[in-house]
Structure 1
Amino acid sequence: MKRNNKNMIYTFLLSCLIATTSCNRDSYTPSPVDEDFKTSGDVTIYTTTGSRSMDFGKRFVDFSSKFNMSPNTITIDPNTKFQTMDGFGAAITGSTCYNLMQMSAEDRTKFLVETFSDKDGMGMSYIRIAIGCSDFSLSEYTCWDTPGKENFALQSEETQYVIPILKEILAINPDIKIMGSPWTPPKWMKVNNLTDLQPFDSWTDGQLNPQYYQDYGWYFVKWIQALKQEGIDIYSITVQNEPLNRQNSASMFMSWQEQQAFVKQSLGPQLKAANLDTKIYAFDHNYNYDDMEDQMDYPIKIYNDEEAAAFFAGAAYHNYGGNKAELLDIRNQRPDKELVFTETSIGEWNDGRNLATRLMEDMREVALGTVNNWCKGVIVWNLMLDTEKGPNRDGGCQTCYGAVDINKANYKGITRNSHYYIVGHLSSVVKPGATRIGASGYAASGLTYSAFQNTDGTYAVVLMNDSNDNRKITLADGTNHFSYDVPGKSVVSYRWAN
């Protein structure tokens, strides 16, 4: 009897220890392969639950040798092809880089490998950086704050924080794609409006003086070349972050008419003359065009001038207003142009640290929602902020959380939020160059999914179960099939060879 009591006490204490460990958010090591499951198999599976009972847990299952009779079968169709994927990731802002640089080199490397390594981590593959400052920079600046081309230079925020972090990321994932976006041009290029054309000495608001179109086009080219000299290739740019937002810390208003003229007359030809194949994306703002009637269908109006349209790869969108259905509308109007999703944030206003709530909504609306509406890439906002939501600046967001938040007291403990998981679940199994393919069959309330074929022939499926019930779901590719118990309120990613 005494022996049985000891065994019961031991079992109880061990279960408490396991539960405590699994809930410790000061660790940024992904959940190990579950000991109760296989350590290898035909299919690799990653699972995250809103309760964090499974924290990007890695499991394996084998193909079934039995005849498939399951009514809960999703069958993928590689003959039905949609867009080719560029990648998934987060913004590497000045604030993010500052926080990363406060970590010990060992901890920083561990986190960056977990995030960007295709072999040993999530394999995030597309990041966004600011051309000059953003609203999450340590100060407001551009790389050309004094007129005269001899005064162009990368600034201390870039040389001390952003570039060193980019080089560390590239050492881990040399193929990562980088997008650049300006929040503001140099202030000396701004005017109050296009009628008065009076100098506008402010980082916030203003418009680009047409007199400086050629200079501003040169600025983009010079910035891309300066980064290239550091070993950093810029895959794509947007012309202006949130061009309809006059209030941001570092901002500028740029109508579709202005963006069309600037790219047609200056930016496009200058990139071409410099033999730069950097993609240009239009717009880079909200689905609802901030309810400005004359700016509705912003990219479509730009494309209506075919000479200007030839310089644009496509358009970029944020989700701070409107509905993701706008993506499909734009795609239907111009199926020859690409779509990318470039920014979304979490914060105090949407219960951003509540994974149980945010994981489901962000997966549905952002990750799968944009991909299933033709986006080639998905990029969320700050990769890392500290636990005081910074560093931030007056005039910028004071209530934002990062994809992860690092403990400001010691720059060690990390809390991973929904945006980290939603991007990671895509990037872990869907690799750059993958094609989104057809998938059909089992449908149920709260079930959303997307299927892909990677360039190596492997299949990938990313699926969310926004019900409270566990669901045994079978995936079939025409040759093989397998089943997996998908927990309630979870996201699951699968990858297998055909």
Structure 2
Amino acid sequence: MRQLMCLRSARVIAAASLVTLPSAVDAQLPTNQRLYDTLTTMPDLRASRIAKFEAEPVVTGRVIFLGNSITQGGDWAKLTGDSTVINRGIGADITFGLRSRLADVTKRKPSRLFILIGINDISKDIPDAVIAAQYRALVDSVKSQSPQTKIFVQSILPLNPTVKNFPQHYDKQERVVAVNVLIRRMARETGATYVDLWPIFVDRQNRLDASLTGDGLHLNQQGYERWVRFLKQRRYLASAGSDSVAVWMTTGDKSALLARQPTLAFGSVANAGPTITVDGATTYQTMAGFGYTLTGGSAYVINRMPAAARDALLRELFTRDVSSLGVSYLRLSIGASDLDAAPFTYDDVPAGQTDPALAAFTIDAARADLIPVLKRILALNPGIELLATPWTAPRWMKDNGAYVGGSLRPANYAAYAQYFVKYIQAMKAEGITITAITVQNEPLHPGNNPSMLMTAAQQATFIRDHLGPALKAAGLGTKIFLYDHNADHPEYPLEILSDSAAKTFVDGSAFHLYGGPIEALTTVHDKHPDRNLYFTEQYTASNGNFAGDLRWHVKNLVVGAPRNWSRTVLEWNLANDERFGPHTDGGCTTCLGAVTIDSSSAAVTRNVAYYIVGHLSRFVDPGSVRVASTLEGGSKTTSLPNVAFRTPAGRYVLVVLNDGNTTQTFNVGFAGRRVAHSLGAGSVATYVW
């Protein structure tokens, strides 16, 4: 009973510590440290390990792995091939324990610090928020005491309850997922790099792969080797100042499709061609992610694949690995888009009836395919961001009572705002967090099925007086994006942003490029630099040309959108079948998915949009910052559109297109060094160092 009371007291004091945590420069531990120490097991191991650490000579600039028994179990020097790597794992340790021994780490001023902690906190029922707060204090302390250290916060690993050596852990899987979400958010807010290990260790049942563990909690040698291989593939373990440059290329003739090329090396010798100079000191916007729209039709064709094939495809698309595409941002339709089999909304009632109380609201139409596919995607990539967009309001809210065209009746503005609230809440109840919404897909195109006309004045009124206040009253942090249509009408978002009351609720503006120049995004940015830009849709056609589409989309979207302040690059449909369906009657009949899934054999064909997005999504992690890249020394015939980024891990990524008609040889310059390369006409390459 006394032990239970102590645990309860610890929880109470821990909750209080959320508002009394010491600052990063305060060496004092929180007052509840001793209470949490009573939960620590294996004190003799802890004492002996700490004594060993303190006896070691202080050598700065090394790589350190810090954590609990999962870290302790790895022979990191041997695994990494670097005898200087330091293991600072202690079995049974918790976040409080790491903080109490952090001075041994920070005095060594590590070049890179890999942290994995939290499963023992969870097993001891330390609250999620306290774990996250302690983790934040840990990261803040490292940043304060060793500011040159690159910090890598690694996700807590999945568990496997079929091997019951540690029963106190095995009912904690949901909490592991929840804490990982908090850790990811903390990493983003503190500038640490979040390393999502979950996808490389999880099996099809979302458990720790049994082949990688002997007890359902710890890793075997194969597991550690997979871990290090992943860190090296992502270049988290790349040595600082490395001269090597990795290259991936796609050519218009398909002879190379996002294919790895021979590694290059920076040096002092350059060729006579022009130079693309990357300047990491000049920074622009932070990138949110890259991807597609997961339409209802996409979910339908994916969900009808055999389980093994479906799982393999989703892993290929959504895990963060250099052999996967690494999609990090998805757009969804609220109700049907034109790439569903038939139009619908989430509050359909018989003709002639209305439902102002939204009593008929239900997301049941999404339960057959969309929600199951989304849940599997989230299991593979819990940090993926989701943007949701309606193609139409419910018919009874509109002045024409139809799915196609018409406008929202002003009398139904309040009900429609609650429709958004109910949708976001219903998805949240399914474990699906909607990051942002746009108010209306293509509001100036009322001819699609479904669709709805909404003028800028109407959208401003709806956001200012109804949608913004409704989201705020419901306690929802969902972002609102304006417009979501072509770049030929930048005056649309500008009109709304000129309304200061409406602007208060707005995060940014979304664009497509079926009309107008991509530079229109900069026009909006320059007038409202305190609001964001997003590129959210562009389709490739079934009757298109691979080489031509590759060239146009890379030039205008992959390069053009980020260079004009967009935080996202999203192509249109993720997947369809061999007949370019499903689609509504009147919907797009020539929209080519990033992948085509044969309805009979489930064979997957990767189309041009797969490679267009892949040249960004595989290499540019969310949270990366666009940096300056400038072409110098070119002639009138030089055409090398390019864009560069610095990732949270400190890597640089440069994408270059040869938009000319002949092979072009050029240099990439960085920090006084250069490397030469050649690209054939219409080819695109991603360079990583």
Q: Does 1:360 align with 2:561?
A: no
* Greater shift in the superposed pair: 441-450 or 213-222: 441-450
| Maintained 8 Å contact 1:61/1:482 | no
Q: How far off is 1:190 after superposition?
A: 0.9
In the TM superposition, residue 60 of structure 1 has moved relative to its aligned partner by 5.0
Any residues of structure 2 matched to 1:176-215 within 5 Å, and which? 176-191=384-399, 200-215=400-415
Q: 1:430 aligns with which of 596, 617, 620?
A: 620
SS of equivalent to 1:150: coil
Contact 1:73 1:476 in 2 (8 A): yes
* Alignment match, 1:322: 516
Aligned to 1:153: 362
Q: Map of 1:139-178 to 2, 5 A cutoff? A: 139-146=342-349, 147=355, 148-156=357-365, 158-178=366-386
| Equivalent residues of 2:653, 2:687 under 8 A apart | yes
**Sequence identity of aligned pairs in percent?**
39
The question of 1:225 aligning with 2:433 is answered no
Which residue does 1:370 correspond to in 2?
A: 561
Partner of 1:385: 576
Q: Note the 1:40-79 alignment, pairs <5 A.
A: 42-68=244-270, 71-79=273-281
Q: Would you say how many aligned residue pairs link Structure 1 and Structure 2?
A: 438
Question: Tell me, which stretches of 5 or more residues in structure 2 are unaligned?
Answer: 1-237, 350-354
Structure 1 position 440, deviation (Å): 1.6
Match of 1:473 in 2: 666
> Deviation at 1:415?
2.6
C-alpha distance 164-264 of structure 1, shift in aligned 2 (>3 A):
same
Identify which of 459, 480, 499 aligns with 1:280.
Answer: 480
Query: Aligned-pair distance for 1:201?
Result: 1.9
Contact 2:298 2:576 in 1 (8 A): yes
Q: How does 1:340-355 map to 2 (within 5 A)?
A: 340-348=534-542, 351-352=543-544, 354-355=545-546
Contact conserved, 1:43 with 1:60, CA < 8 A, in 2? Answer: no
Q: Identify the residue that residue 126 of structure 2 maps to in structure 1.
A: none
In the superposition, relative to structure 1, how do residues 64 and 303 fare at CA in structure 2: closer, same or farther (>3 Å)? closer
Q: Distance in 2 between matches of 1:89 and 1:106?
A: 23
CA distance in 2, matches of 1:110, 1:403: 16
Where 2:278 maps in the other structure, the secondary structure is: strand
Kept after mapping to 1: 8 A contact 2:297/2:340: yes
Is the 2:342–2:585 contact (alpha carbons within 8 Å) kept by the matching residues of 1? no
Within 2, Cα distance between the matches of 1:445 and 1:67?
Answer: 21
Structure 1: distance between partners of 2:261 and 2:429: 42
Determine which of 571, 582, 588 is the counterpart of 1:397: 588
**Contact in 2 for aligned 1:87/1:431 (Cα 8 Å):** yes
Alignment match of 1:406 (pick from 597, 602, 613): 597
**Does the Cα contact within 8 Å between 2:664 and 2:679 map onto a contact in 1?**
yes
1:366-386 Cα deviation digits (max 9, x unpaired): 221111111110111111111
TM-score under structure 2 length normalisation:
0.61
Please state how far the C-alpha of 1:480 moved relative to its aligned partner: 4.5
Match of 2:676 in 1: 483
Report what 1:122 is aligned to: 325
Q: Report the counterpart of residue 334 of structure 1 in structure 2.
A: 528
Deviations 1:417-469, CA, capped at 9 Å, x for gaps: 22211111011121111111111234453311001111111111111112343
Q: Structure 1: where are the runs of 5+ without partners?
A: 1-39, 192-199, 290-295
User: 1:133 — aligned with what?
Assistant: 336
Instruction: Pick which of 301-310 and 69-78 moved more.
Output: 69-78
Aligned AA for 2:405?
D
Q: What's the offset of the Cα at 1:171?
A: 1.6
8 A Cα contact 1:189 1:209, kept in partner: yes
TM norm structure 1: 0.84
Provide the rounded CA distance (Å) in 2 between the counterparts of 1:381 and 1:69: 39
Q: Partner letter of residue 561 of structure 2?
A: T
Change (3 A) 1:60 1:118: farther
Contact 1:89 / 1:125 at 8 angstroms: preserved in 2?
Answer: yes
Q: Contact 1:362 / 1:418 at 8 angstroms: preserved in 2?
A: no
- Shift of the 331–202 alpha-carbon distance from structure 1 to 2, 3 Å rule, reads same
State the secondary structure of the residue aligned to 1:447. Answer: coil
1:89 is aligned to 291
Contact 1:177 / 1:234 at 8 angstroms: preserved in 2? yes
Q: Secondary structure at the match of 1:283?
A: strand
Q: Is the 8 A contact 2:244 2:266 kept in 1?
A: no
Name which of 647, 652, 677 aligns with 1:459: 652
Q: By how many angstroms is 1:110 displaced?
A: 1.9
Is the CA contact 1:42–1:60 (under 8 Å) kept in the aligned structure 2? no
CA pair 279-60 structure 1, distance change in 2 beyond 3 A: farther
Query: Alignment RMSD, CA only?
Result: 1.8
Cα shift at 1:208: 0.9
Distance 1:380 1:325 in 2: 18
Structure 2: which amino acid aligns with 1:163? I
Q: For residues 201-233 of structure 1, what are the alpha-carbon distances to aligned partners after superposition, in whole Å with 9 as ceiling and x for unaligned?
A: 210111111111111111111111111111111
CA distance in 2, matches of 1:310, 1:267: 12
Q: Distance in 2 between matches of 1:132 and 1:394?
A: 16
**1:53 CA drift (Å):** 0.5
The within-5 A match list for 1:279-318 is 279-289=479-489, 297-318=491-512
Change (3 A) 1:183 1:45: same
Give a deviation string over 1:228-257, Cα, whole Å, max 9, x none: 111111111100001111111011111111
Check conservation: 1:264, 1:307, Cα contact below 8 A: yes
Q: Which has the higher contact order (CA 8 A, sep 6+)?
A: 1
SS in 1 for 2:359: helix
Determine the structure 2 residue equivalent to 1:3: none
For the 8 Å contact 1:402–1:417, the answer to whether it is kept is: yes
Q: Which has the larger radius of gyration?
A: 2
Contact 2:655-2:685 within 8 A present in 1 as well: yes
Match of 1:266 in 2: 466
User: Aligned to 1:80, which of 275, 282, 286?
Assistant: 282
Structure 1 CA distance, aligned partners of 2:344 and 2:406?
Answer: 15
Deviates more, 1:73-82 or 1:441-450: 441-450
Deviation readout 1:125-163 (Å, 9 max, x if unpaired): 11100011111112211111232433211123x101111
Residue deviations 1:24-45 (CA, integer Å, cap 9, x gap) = xxxxxxxxxxxxxxxx983332
SS at structure 2 position matched to 1:208: coil
Distance 1:177 1:250 in 2: 25
Amino acid at match of 1:203: Y
CA shift in 2, pair 1:475/1:256, >3 Å? same
Please tell me whether the aligned partners of residues 247 and 264 of structure 2 are also in contact (alpha carbons under 8 angstroms): no
